[in-house]
């Protein structure tokens, strides 16, 4: 089912006031009214305009439509990639929306499948409500909100509290969507991994009526760091070695996410090889492992004595051909 962008149909912004919507509707109604317009698709365009006005001119229906914004956008993208179209939540058609008759709105048959499925039984019950003026706000849980949070790998290893600034859409006293900035203190649990979600209960979009607010779901991403990275719960860390440390072996101190460690490097270790330290990765019921990626680093020769040392080194290995190792 195709998603209907009612704001686009009326040619108004999502922040448009009730008066802006009314003016846009009247302008398009004069343009596409079947008794006036000579355009071939006037009737179909007029039906779209009526449907958009029916939703956006009513604070309750507009609030419900806006509350589904994230899911609609996701479904639209999924459809473009070969997925299904828009589908409201399973209990959406149980919501108690009330529809009043509007002069040019037409019958229920004029509404699209998108409208009928979104507002469910309330849309089908409209013909039985007649001129009833009573309206009640539907009690509906707010939609979950999705965002991402960027962390250092150290935050996952040790746990942390991080500040998060968010801009969310809320409804003002007139039911018009508006932006609101908020700052949250997010507790980062130990062992959280790349791509996992941190759920903040009650920090999503506000509910309608007495409905509870939705949750905020934060997708975890780690900042790029040349020292270490993770794959699942395993951590990989680059450890620079001096040429004599790699060739002669021995104890090598280095700093990890867990603090200072010392590992014994076997003699003759080559650049790019790995040492595994079991259980030293990210915390978990069964902790991940730490893999040390050893890189041999040669010191620069800045003084005559250092240059002489390299010359002596070369004379000590007359048969050595570095290209033959590749």
Q: Length of the chain in residues, anyone?
A: 326
β-bridge partners, 238: 293
Summarised one tens digit per residue, pLDDT across range 189-217 is 999 999 999 999 998 887 777 888 889 99
Provide the CA 324 distance to its chain's centre, in angstroms: 49
- What is the per-residue pLDDT for 286? 96
* Torsion, Cα of 103, 108, 111, 112 (10° steps): 180
Joined together, the tokens standing for residue 142 give 């707010």
Does residue 109 carry a pLDDT above 80?
A: no
Query: By percentage, how much of the chain surpasses pLDDT 70?
Result: 75
DSSP-derived secondary structure for 255-299: EETTEEEEEEEPTT--TT-EEEETT-SS-SSS---EEEEEEE-PP
Asked if the domains 145-222 and 228-325 are classified in one and the same CATH topology, the answer is: yes
Q: pLDDT digits over 81-98, tens only?
A: 454 555 555 444 444 444
Query: Of residues 68 and 57, which shows the higher confidence score?
Result: 57
Map out the domains of the chain as residue ranges: 6-128, 145-222, 228-325
pLDDT band of 252, cuts 50, 70, 90: very high
Residue 100: predicted pLDDT? 41
- Which pLDDT band, with edges at 50, 70 and 90, does 106 fall under? very low
CA 207 to chain centre: 20
Q: Which CATH number is associated with domain 145-222?
A: 2.60.260.20
Mean pLDDT of the chain: 80
Letter string b/e over residues 85-118, b meaning 16 or more CB atoms within 10 A of that residue's CB: ebebeeebbebbbbbeeeeebeeeebbeebbbbb
Is the model more confident about 151 or about 125?
151
d(CA 68, CA 212): 15
Is the distance from CB of 58 to CB of 64 less than 8 angstroms?
no
Assign 231 a pLDDT band (cuts: 50, 70, 90): very high
Confidence of residue 30 (pLDDT cuts 50, 70, 90): confident
Global pTM value: 0.55
Mean pLDDT of 14-43: 85
Residue 156 burial by Cβ neighbours in a 10 Å radius (0-12, 13-18, 19+): buried
Q: Which of 12-16, 85-89, 215-219, 243-247 has the lowest mean pLDDT?
A: 85-89
What's the confidence (pLDDT) of residue 32?
Answer: 83
Q: Is the pLDDT of residue 132 over 50?
A: no
Superfamily of domain 228-325: Urease metallochaperone UreE, N-terminal domain (2.60.260.20)
pLDDT value for 40: 81
Q: How confident is the model at residue 145 (pLDDT cuts 50, 70, 90)?
A: confident
Residue 103 CB partners (closer than 8 Å, separation 6+): none
Higher pLDDT, 179 or 142: 142
Task: Examine the pLDDT at 31 and tell me if it is beyond 70.
Answer: yes
Yes or no: say if 12 and 24 are a contact pair by the CB < 8 Å rule.
Answer: yes
pLDDT at 76 over 60: no
Structurally, at CATH architecture level, domain 6-128 sits in Orthogonal Bundle (1.10)
């Amino acid at each position: 089912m195709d998603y209907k962008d009612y704001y686009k149909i009326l040619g108004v912004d999502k922040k448009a006031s009730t008066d802006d919507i009314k003016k846009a509707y009247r302008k398009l109604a004069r343009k596409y009214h079947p008794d006036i317009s000579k355009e071939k698709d006037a009737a179909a365009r007029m039906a779209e305009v009526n449907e958009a006005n029916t939703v956006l001119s009513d604070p309750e229906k507009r609030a419900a439509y806006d509350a589904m914004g994230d899911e609609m956008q996701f479904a639209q993208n999924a459809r473009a990639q070969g997925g299904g179209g828009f589908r409201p939540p399973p209990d959406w058609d149980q919501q108690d929306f009330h529809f009043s008759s509007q002069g040019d709105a037409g019958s229920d048959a004029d509404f699209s499948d998108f409208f009928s499925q979104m507002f469910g039984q309330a849309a089908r019950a409209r013909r039985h409500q007649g001129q009833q003026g009573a309206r009640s706000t539907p009690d509906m849980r707010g939609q979950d909100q999705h965002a991402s949070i960027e962390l250092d790998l150290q935050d996952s290893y040790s746990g942390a509290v991080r500040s998060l600034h968010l801009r969310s859409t809320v409804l003002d006293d007139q039911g018009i969507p508006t932006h609101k900035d908020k700052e949250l203190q997010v507790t980062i649990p130990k062992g959280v991994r790349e791509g996992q979600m941190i759920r903040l209960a009650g920090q999503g979009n506000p509910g309608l009526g007495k409905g509870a607010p939705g949750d905020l779901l934060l997708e975890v991403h780690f900042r790029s760091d040349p020292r270490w990275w993770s794959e699942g719960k395993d951590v990989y860390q680059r450890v620079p070695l001096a040429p004599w440390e790699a060739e002669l072996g021995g104890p090598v101190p280095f700093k990890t996410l867990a603090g200072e460690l010392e590992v014994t490097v076997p003699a003759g270790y080559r650049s790019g090889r790995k040492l595994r330290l079991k259980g030293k990765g990210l915390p978990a019921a069964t902790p991940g492992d730490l893999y040390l990626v050893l890189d041999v680093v040669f010191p620069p020769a800045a003084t005559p004595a250092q240059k002489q040392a390299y010359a002596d080194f070369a004379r000590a290995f007359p048969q050595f051909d570095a290209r033959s190792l590749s």
